[in-house]
């Protein structure tokens, strides 16, 4: 169902309304409108660090299943030295996802431990946790504002997370999430902007995600190419074996 890959994940984490019930309904509506059987895209990632140095990476992304219960495989294609490295994410509605990394050079997969999920996802401004889908039921939502055509919601995780809360902005017009700010005890950690919305197969989809790690003063933008929904993907393509095969 989801629209943008990573973006998404964040989406999941967030949600918001004035009346709790209303807030949850808003998020559920957001998810409903994003729903798809499967998804594929080729992402281009630019990390702009200190000194405005830009590092570029590309990957392909495939995903199958309903939100919060989906599986996805991400595989790097550029730069050459990381080509083939893959990541398999199996989300569970009731608990944290399982994640494995495939390392072709040494021919083995490696489990990403729960405790490591808050670390940065390979030099980007995402963390491993940000890649995860969590079911709406894993959060409490509260509508905290109405800024013209946009709702402002607050979500609080019920299970362990590196974040203590997040703020989400949802456009009333088409139920698209346009911004997420995530906080921990010390304050704002990450902020994500969704931009360049476009309808793909009837789904309003952001073609660009910009994420900023406030603590490191670093930005990452992710552009989605060849985005498609509802492709004929099989469950068997989202297993450890498939990860090792490297399709």
Distance (Å) of CA 139 to CA 15, 82, 123, 125, 223: 8, 35, 28, 23, 28
Per rule CB under 8 A, is residue 111 in the interface with another protein?
A: yes
Shortest separation between residue 82's beta carbon and another protein, angstroms: 4
Sorted by sequence, the CB contacts under 8 Å of residue 16 that are 6+ apart come out as 23, 26, 27, 141, 142, 143, 144, 151, 152, 153, 154, 155, 167, 168, 170
Given candidates 19, 55, 188, 231, which one binds another protein under the rule CB under 8 A?
55
Per rule CB under 8 A, is residue 103 in the interface with another protein?
A: yes
Question: For 22, phi and psi rounded to 5 degrees?
Answer: -60, -45
- Residue ranges of alpha helices (H) inside 71-151 are none
Per rule CB under 8 A, is residue 50 in the interface with another protein?
A: yes
Shortest separation between residue 84's beta carbon and another protein, angstroms: 8
Distance (Å) of CA 56 to CA 27, 45, 79, 124, 216: 33, 6, 7, 10, 18
Cβ(61)–Cβ(74) below 8 Å:
yes
Given candidates 108, 195, 201, 234, which one binds another protein under the rule CB under 8 A?
108
Given candidates 24, 57, 219, 223, which one binds another protein under the rule CB under 8 A?
57
Given candidates 101, 150, 214, 240, which one binds another protein under the rule CB under 8 A?
101
Per rule CB under 8 A, is residue 201 in the interface with another protein?
A: no
CA distance 190 to 162: 11
Nearest to another protein of 53, 226 (CB atom): 53
- Kindly state the helix (H) or strand (E) to which residue 34 belongs, with its residue range: helix 20-34
Count of residues interacting with another protein (CB under 8 A): 30
Nearest to another protein of 21, 110 (CB atom): 110
Given candidates 8, 76, 229, 238, which one binds another protein under the rule CB under 8 A?
76
Per rule CB under 8 A, is residue 53 in the interface with another protein?
A: yes
Nearest to another protein of 110, 174 (CB atom): 110
Shortest separation between residue 104's beta carbon and another protein, angstroms: 8
Shortest separation between residue 194's beta carbon and another protein, angstroms: 24
Sorted by sequence, the CB contacts under 8 Å of residue 51 that are 6+ apart come out as none
CA distance 27 to 228: 23
Q: How many other CB atoms are found less than 10 A from the CB of residue 134?
A: 24
Given candidates 81, 147, 173, 241, which one binds another protein under the rule CB under 8 A?
81
| Interface residue list for another protein (CB under 8 A) | 47, 49-51, 53, 55, 57, 76, 79, 81-85, 101, 103-106, 108, 110-116, 119, 122-123
């Amino acid at each position: 169902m989801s629209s943008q890959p990573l973006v998404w994940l964040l989406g999941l984490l967030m949600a918001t309304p004035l009346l709790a019930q209303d807030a949850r309904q808003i998020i559920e509506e957001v998810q409903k409108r994003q729903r798809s059987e499967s998804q594929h895209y080729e992402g281009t990632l630019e990390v702009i660090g200190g000194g405005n140095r830009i590092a570029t990476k590309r990957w392909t992304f495939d995903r199958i299943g309903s939100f919060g219960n989906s599986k996805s495989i991400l595989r790097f294609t550029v730069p050459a030295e990381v080509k083939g490295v893959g990541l398999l994410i199996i989300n569970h509605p009731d608990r944290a996802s399982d994640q494995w990394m495939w390392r072709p050079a040494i021919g083995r997969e490696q489990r990403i431990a729960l405790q490591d999920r808050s670390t940065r996802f390979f030099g980007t401004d995402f963390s491993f946790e940000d890649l995860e889908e969590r079911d709406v039921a894993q959060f409490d939502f509260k509508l905290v504002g109405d800024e013209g055509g946009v709702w402002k919601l607050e979500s609080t995780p019920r299970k362990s997370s590196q974040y203590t809360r997040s703020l989400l902005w949802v456009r009333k017009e088409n139920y698209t999430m346009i911004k997420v700010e995530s906080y921990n005890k010390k304050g704002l950690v990450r902020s994500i902007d969704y931009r360049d919305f476009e309808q793909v197969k009837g789904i309003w989809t952001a073609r660009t995600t910009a994420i900023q790690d406030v603590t490191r003063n670093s930005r990452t933008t992710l552009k989605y190419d060849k985005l498609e929904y509802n492709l004929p993907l099989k469950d068997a393509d989202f297993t450890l074996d498939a990860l090792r095969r490297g399709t």
